[in-house]
Amino acid sequence: MQTFMSFMRAWSDQFAGRHFVTPLIVPDRHQYLAQHLPINNNQDEAAVRKIGIVEAIKLIYYMQCKRKAQRWVQFYFSEDELKTMHENYRQRSDRFFIC
């Protein structure tokens, strides 16, 4: 459905004479993210973090000025990140957890 909606949005923008954003096509999402995301060298700290002031300003600008181009924010966790979060949860909890 995402592919179809991207196509329809691009087609509509092209027909109306507006510039459209070409979608990023990534054959292997895990490999792409491993190359582009910063490495978390502190293994004791979870991969989820607070954003800094510059990132917050960019996010606010995007949400106020560019939100019509993209109406949702997607989060993706790689298999390694999910394993790390699962292990951290298991170590800090007295409950057994199955993924």
Q: Which residues contact 99 (CB under 8 A, 6 or more apart)?
A: 82, 86
In this structure, what token pair is assigned to residue 61?
């600008």
Q: Is residue 32 part of a domain?
A: no
Residues 41 and 19 reside in one and the same domain: no
The secondary structure element, H or E, covering residue 5 is helix 2-15
> Which range marks the domain in which residue 22 is found?
1-26
Total tally of structural domains belonging to the chain: 2
Contact (CB, 8 A) for 14 and 20: yes
Residues 50 and 17 in one domain: no
Report d(CA 25, CA 32) in Å as an integer: 10
Do 41 and 83 lie in one domain? The reply is: yes
Is 31 within the bounds of a domain? no
* The three-state (H, E, C) secondary structure of 44-91, written as one string: CCCCCCCCCHHHHHHHHHHHHHCCCCCCCCCCCCCHHHHHHHHHHHHH
Reported as a single tens digit per residue, the pLDDT across 42-94 is 555 555 667 889 988 988 888 788 777 766 667 777 788 888 888 887 777 76
pLDDT value at position 43? 57
* The length of the chain, given as a count of residues: 99
pTM for the complete prediction?
0.32
- 45 & 92 share domain: yes
50 with 69, same domain: the answer is yes
Please indicate, yes or no, whether residues 63 and 87 belong to a single structural domain of this protein.
yes
Is residue 19 located within the same domain as residue 46? no
Same domain for 16 and 48?
A: no
Token pair in block for residue 92: 């800090």
